[in-house]
Amino acid sequence: MKAQFWSFDIIFAIIIFVFAVVILTYVWLNISSVSSLQSANNLNRMQLQLQVLGTQLLTPGNPSNWNQKVNLASPGSWENLSLGMGNGTQGALSQSKINELNNMSIANYQATKPALGISYDYYIDFIGTNSEIGINPANGNVVSSQVITIPAVLNGRQVNVQIQLWSNSTISLG
């Protein structure tokens, strides 16, 4: 009689074990699926913000003389500005606007992100010059990034403006 009772215990334990493994597998696959979807959405959001930023930076901004109105001591006032580096001529950049955006980035990097309309970290490199703005992703632990290169004219010279949005977390707040 004891042997029969013991065999029922084993069968019952195996059923519970298999049921637990099935539930665990189901939960694991759902979490993995949600994580993949969130990652894809974050990359799409990053790419969209990059495209908008690339277009915006070639404009003069709003107001067009925003670089003369910036108060580095008051980052809260930057949100009312539309930051552009254009000088008003198609594809031409203003050195003074580049310098001012760089000063803003140095003064309060985090406050420049909403002023640029982005939620990710950024790095702008003016290839062929010694100018760069933002945090170089090579200095961080980058998990995801998107890059765009835009031809422009700076001080009468053809340059390529490489804009990179990046994140070092797997779940970004984009």
Q: What is the pLDDT along the chain (174 residues), one digit of tens a residue?
A: 455 556 777 788 888 888 888 887 777 766 666 655 555 566 688 888 999 999 999 999 888 899 888 888 888 888 788 899 999 888 899 999 999 999 999 999 999 998 898 989 999 999 988 899 999 988 877 788 889 999 999 988 999 999 999 988 765 444
**pLDDT at res. 163:** 95
Answer yes or no: are the C-beta atoms of 113 and 119 closer than 8 Å: yes
> Other CB atoms closer than 10 Å to residue 161's CB: what's the count?
24
Residue carrying the six token digits 């069968």: 11
**pLDDT at res. 82:** 86
DSSP codes joined into one string, 74-127: -GGGGGG-EE--B-SSTTEE-HHHHHHHHHHHHH-HHHHHHHHT-SSEEEEEEE
Strand order in the sheet with 121-127: 92-93, 144-154, 157-167, 121-127, 132-134
**pLDDT at res. 100:** 94
Residues 6+ apart with CB under 8 A from 103: 70, 72
- What is this structure's pTM? 0.72
**pLDDT at res. 18:** 86
